[in-house]
Amino acid sequence: MRKIIAVDFDGTLFATDYPDILWPIRKVIKWCRKKKREGCCLILWTCREGEALEEAVDACRSVGLEFDYINQNAPEIIEMHGGSDCRKIYADIYLDDHAIDANPMTYPLPF
């Protein structure tokens, strides 16, 4: 199965002053484009909706970043769960500027 990567928009792909989009975070965008070329599935995983979401998708396209899905699970994950697309987006990797590594094998949690 292909690797699935869910990527947040605000603060991860682009610096923003919500809802304003300020500038691209090129290092992350470059990494995402590389993973896409390698065959990974990219999901834009954001709280944006409506016009703000359209602006985010357009901003990504302007720097050559296309997503397979936007705020939805990949079809193989939906099929694996009996045809149900739950609200939680499944991914092998989550990129988010507010994330911590919660794996106790790699990072001891403070609680």
> What pLDDT, on a 0 to 100 scale, did the predictor assign at position 33?
97
pLDDT, averaged across the chain: 90
pLDDT tens-place string over residues 46-73: 999 999 999 999 999 999 999 999 999 9
Residue 85 has pLDDT above 80, yes or no: no
15 with 105: CB under 8 angstroms?
A: no
Whether this model's pTM surpasses 0.85: yes
Query: How far apart are the two ends of the chain, measured CA to CA in Å?
Result: 34
For the record, the structure tokens of 87 come out as 């609200």
pLDDT at position 1, please?
Answer: 85
Instruction: Give the CATH number of domain 8-95.
Output: 3.40.50.1000
| Residue 27 phi, psi dihedral angles, 5° rounding | -60, -45
Domain map of the chain by residue range? Answer: 8-95
pLDDT over 70 at 103, yes or no:
no
Q: Is 44 helix (H, G, I), strand (E, B) or coil?
A: strand
